[in-house]
Amino acid sequence: MRCLIRGGAGFIGSHLAERLLHLGHEVIAIDDLSTGSMENLSSFRFHPAFEFHGDTIFNRRLMAELVDVADIVFHLAAAVGVKRVVERPVQTIETNVDGTAVVLQLAAKKQRRLVVVSTSEVYGKSNKFPFAERDDLVLGSTYNSRWAYGCSKAIDEFLALAYYRERQLPVTIVRLFNTVGPRQTGRYGMVVPTFIRQALQQEPITVFGDGKQSRCFGYVSDVVDGFLAVAADGSTAGEIFNLGNTEEISIDDLAGRIIRFTASPSSICHIPYSEAYGPGFEDMGRRVPDISKAERWLNYRPKHGLDDILRDVIAFVRAQIGKKQAVFVAPGARQESPVLNLGMPGAGRVPLQTYSRGARELDSSHSLPARATP
């Protein structure tokens, strides 16, 4: 099976690519490296079944060629991180909405299987917990750019489902809840790697707001399990699935746990939202997924608890600190611009192979169906 990953050099995209290669599939990744990193690809960039394109998703000609040769498309390319969203709302909206429109148009033309990655941010300020896929979405005022990300991803979902209904595009949407793990950077406001770096460097841990807000953190490998289960089941087309973990923790308690796990002398410093993100910023008090649909339909069961997740990320960040080309870069550290080697040895296109359903497994229980000849 040949798999195209948009956002393939990102935190989640690189883990998905690595898993697919391990399972014997061919992977084509495209990423403009605005938030992704070549370092994320270091363990498999020379794999003979891997092909990388350092280009924007708005290169329509290239995207058309890549979709044409793919059996399935995973659309992960998006603007990410609260800090980036607040500071660059135009880029956020254009990247999320226009970029998704491009992949939907191209996938519909060739009737390619498509998985669109969305976010728990679409639930907005809803006070109905836990969040279920058919719940109403409660977004804030358009005056507040903080909601641009959730709103743009909701538009992505509306558009994807419209393509499913009107043009029979086999598309499935997955909503992610605070996915964490190795390779995630704290550069754009991701809380776990940021807290861990601060703890390891014995700096104050900066908690925005009063610290009572709570989140549920899902491990990246568990989320990839969900991607593969969705992709392998054609009956999921036209559906939305929450993917994540249901173990809830306040941000203050998260900071305290990281301090204990790292044996750090760091203190906890609370910073008002207005100072961190500007006046008028709003946050969600809780973000808790209802994953019962994924459990019933996909047999989705997160395997990693928060303590396991934190230990893995602590080990990763500890190894990254001080590396010149680190995925994780501390504030103020200089990182050289990545050099794109698009002619990487072994990265050329290999002959397309298609497999009948069940012939090549994605994991122990899921396999991708073969593509019908156009």
Going by pLDDT thresholds of 50, 70 and 90, the confidence category of residue 327 is low
> In this model, does residue 336 exceed pLDDT 90?
no
Q: What is the pLDDT of residues 211-260, one digit of tens each?
A: 999 999 999 999 999 999 999 999 999 999 999 999 999 999 999 999 99
> In this model, does residue 356 exceed pLDDT 90?
no
Q: Stretch 305-319: mean pLDDT, rounded?
A: 96
* Residue in 123, 149, 163, 219 annotated catalytic: 149
300 classed as catalytic: no
pLDDT on residue 326: 54
Q: What is the pLDDT of residues 177-219, one digit of tens each?
A: 999 999 998 877 799 999 999 999 999 999 999 999 999 999 9
pLDDT on residue 187: 78
Domains contained in the chain, CATH given: 2-178+219-246+286-303 (3.40.50.720)
Q: What is the pLDDT of residues 67-120, one digit of tens each?
A: 999 999 999 988 777 777 778 889 889 999 999 999 999 999 999 999 999 999
pLDDT on residue 185: 87
Q: Stretch 287-293: mean pLDDT, rounded?
A: 98
More confident residue, 372 or 287: 287
Provide the mean pLDDT of the chain.
Answer: 87
> In this model, does residue 163 exceed pLDDT 60?
yes
Query: Cβ–Cβ contacts within 10 Å for residue 279, how many?
Result: 9
Q: Stretch 20-48: mean pLDDT, rounded?
A: 96
Going by pLDDT thresholds of 50, 70 and 90, the confidence category of residue 348 is very low
> In this model, does residue 371 exceed pLDDT 60?
no
Going by pLDDT thresholds of 50, 70 and 90, the confidence category of residue 363 is very low
Going by pLDDT thresholds of 50, 70 and 90, the confidence category of residue 349 is very low
